[in-house]
Structure 1
Amino acid sequence: MITEGAEPFFLPGGRTGVLLIHGFTGVPAELLLMGRYLQAKGFSVLGVRLAGHGTTVKDMSHMTGEDWLDSARDGYALLRGCCDRIIIAGHSMGGILALLLAAEKETAGVISMSAPIYIAEERGISMLPPREACLNRFVPKARRRLRDVPPAVNQTYRCMPLMGVYEMLDLIERAKKLLPSIKVPALILHSLNDRTADAESALYIRENLGSSEKSLVWLKISGHLIPVGEERDIVFRESAGFIERVTASGNFHQR
């Protein structure tokens, strides 16, 4: 059963569609404010719910990286049915999924927000037990309460499955291998103050993407959750401007 407020959302607009993909242990509501902003700019927006998210953490513990990628693929297919062109955008692990999807689907561009190529050391990633010791193990997940956000944003999982961490790390490795094959225009947004996805992640993505059209926008005071953070207006404005530019050019790319 899906937690109230954790449902996927669809905001109808024009023939350009934006697929929004949330992050690890998150919910679609984390991207709802961004979705409403983009809808007001004339775009159709679909915020997907990744498998095992917005239900129970035990449910999530049974999911794989392929399950999460399939959720993103399903969202892409739904949006493709009503739009002429698609922009794929994701936050955190959703940014990794957005890059993976951009490597296999026809898209006009990709937006990566706080995507973690490198996990910040303070997250204790170096202390992660061996994979075989992680089955049915969960660890607390600290997170501060945010103001002026949809209620579901402050009701996400307060612990995370260690097997899920390994699944996420596997997705990151897949994305690293596929970055050179991604040729579509790309926008990378990352905070210098990110204590979850090390800021070096953004530099790695920029340097290894195969696209000739790629830009990196640094935020300075936000934490990891930039779509609901203090500089969300910058995230929204830069994303809308990027979408307008790549769609106005009419030069759409496939993979």
Structure 2
Amino acid sequence: MSANVEFFFPGDNRGVLLIHGLTGTPQEMRILGKGLNNRGFTTRGVQLAGHCGSVEDLLATGWKDWYRSVETAAREMRDSVDHLFVAGLSMGAVLALRLAEEQPSWVDGVGVLGATFRYDGWSLPALNRLAFLLPVLKRLGIGRRRMFMEHPPYGLRDENLRRKISEAMASGDSTAAGLPGNPWHSLAELYLMSRRVRRDLARVVAPCLIAHATEDDIASRWNAEMVARHVSGRSEFLWLEDSYHMITIDRERRRLVAGTADFFTRAAETAAAMAPAA
């Protein structure tokens, strides 16, 4: 049974919904959430359906369930703020873009953080080769019990943090650092969602901050650059040169907080200026 580890930090009328990645936990968004809150924003870290529990909990859900978690949280949050922003890490970035596609009137800006449409980073050659087969295997019912296990560097350039995360995953507490691997069928769901979101990226009219590690071990620069090429809204890059995939907690987390706060502040000012007079 999944434990609820969402967080909420009340602030001003600018709200930021933060979305974790596949097999992850809201904890990976907490530093960003607290940092934005220290700059005045109201922040909430949503917990995706099926996460922070067992592998079976996760396998009982699919990408439409994960997206429903995001849309429900956004609907609740927008009732209490004047400006709503959404930011996600890894698969969370893909879900954030999906919300901007499906509900463009809700979203004033998107934080596309370490976007992962495909696992093509330098540490994952085997997964990259097999990924296209996963939806087929899932449809045939093959590999339900199989997982791609996490391996060093676990998306982290910071060695001390890497050791702590490794110990947390080994402890079996999925609320602290997520599951120790990615089930094949869950990865298949990610790839099915990625296709849908890529197809509809032109529907994203909100401004996008695209933050990505230049040496991302999980998702190559292609993922970030592809988003910038296809969204309709303006986009800005924030390239991080001293981090790996988990940019919300790695060495440049403070730079990410500052860049995201600045971007959303400017987006809120632009949205307020364009709003019709009461």
Normalising by structure 2, report the TM-score. 0.84
Q: Does the CA contact (< 8 Å) of 1:57 and 1:159 recur in 2?
A: no
Aligned partners of 2:211 and 2:240 also within 8 Å: yes
Matches within 5 A, 1:176-195: 176-195=198-217
Aligned to 2:187: 165
Which residue in the other structure is 1:71 paired with? 69
**2:264 corresponds to which residue?**
243
Q: Deviation of residue 154 (structure 1)?
A: 5.3
Q: Which runs of 5+ in 2 are unaligned?
A: 169-173
Q: Distance in 2 between matches of 1:49 and 1:183?
A: 26
Is 1:112 matched with 2:112? yes
Alpha-carbon distance, 1:248 to partner: 1.3
**Which segment drifts farther, 215-224 or 130-139?**
130-139
Q: 1:233 to 1:181 in 2, by over 3 A?
A: same
Q: Deviations over 1:89-117 (max 9, x none)?
A: 10000000000001122211111000113
Q: Would you say 1:136 and 2:145 are equivalent positions?
A: yes
Q: Residue 103 of structure 1: SS of its match in structure 2?
A: helix
Which one-letter code corresponds to 1:146 in the other structure?
A: L
Query: More displaced, 122-131 or 8-17?
Result: 122-131
SS of 2:24's equivalent in the other structure is coil
What CA distance in whole angstroms lies between the structure 2 residues aligned with 1:22 and 1:14?
23
Which residue matches 2:130? 127
Helix, strand or coil at the partner of 1:146 = helix
Please tell me whether the aligned partners of residues 29 and 248 of structure 2 are also in contact (alpha carbons under 8 angstroms).
yes
Moved more, 154-163 or 179-188: 154-163
Q: Deviations over 1:178-225 (max 9, x none)?
A: 1111111111000111011111111111011111x2111111121100
Deviates more, 1:184-193 or 1:133-142: 133-142
Asked whether the 8 Å contact 2:207–2:235 carries over to 1, the reply is: yes
Q: Which residue of 2 aligns with 1:146?
A: 161
Assess if the C-alpha contact under 8 Å between 1:246 and 1:252 holds in 2. Answer: no
Paired position in structure 1 for 2:230: 208
8 Å CA contact retained: 1:64, 1:164: yes
Contact 1:25 1:157 in 2 (8 A): yes
Counterpart in the other structure of 1:196? 218
Look up the equivalent residue of 1:187 and give its one-letter code: L
Q: What residue is the counterpart of 2:93 in the other structure? A: 95
CA RMSD of aligned residues (A): 2.2
1:13 alignment partner, SS class: coil
Q: Aligned letter for 2:70?
A: A
Question: Is the 8 Å Cα contact of residues 196 and 224 (structure 1) preserved in structure 2?
Answer: yes
1:30 counterpart letter in structure 2: E
Displacement of 1:251 after TM fit? Answer: 4.6
Describe the SS at the equivalent of 1:23: coil
Q: Which residue of 2 aligns with 1:7?
A: 5
More helix per residue: 1 or 2? 2
Q: Distance in 1 between matches of 2:251 and 2:257?
A: 12
Deviation at 1:147, TM superposition (A): 6.6
Q: 1:251 to 1:24 in 2, by over 3 A?
A: farther
| In structure 1, distance between residues paired with 2:6 and 2:72 | 12
1:178 is matched by which residue type in structure 2?
D
Is contact 2:27–2:177 with CA below 8 Å preserved after alignment? no
Pair 1:113–1:218, CA change in 2 (3 A): same
Which deviates the most, 145-154 or 48-57?
Answer: 145-154
CA pair 181-149 structure 1, distance change in 2 beyond 3 A: farther
Q: Which residue of 2 aligns with 1:233?
A: 254
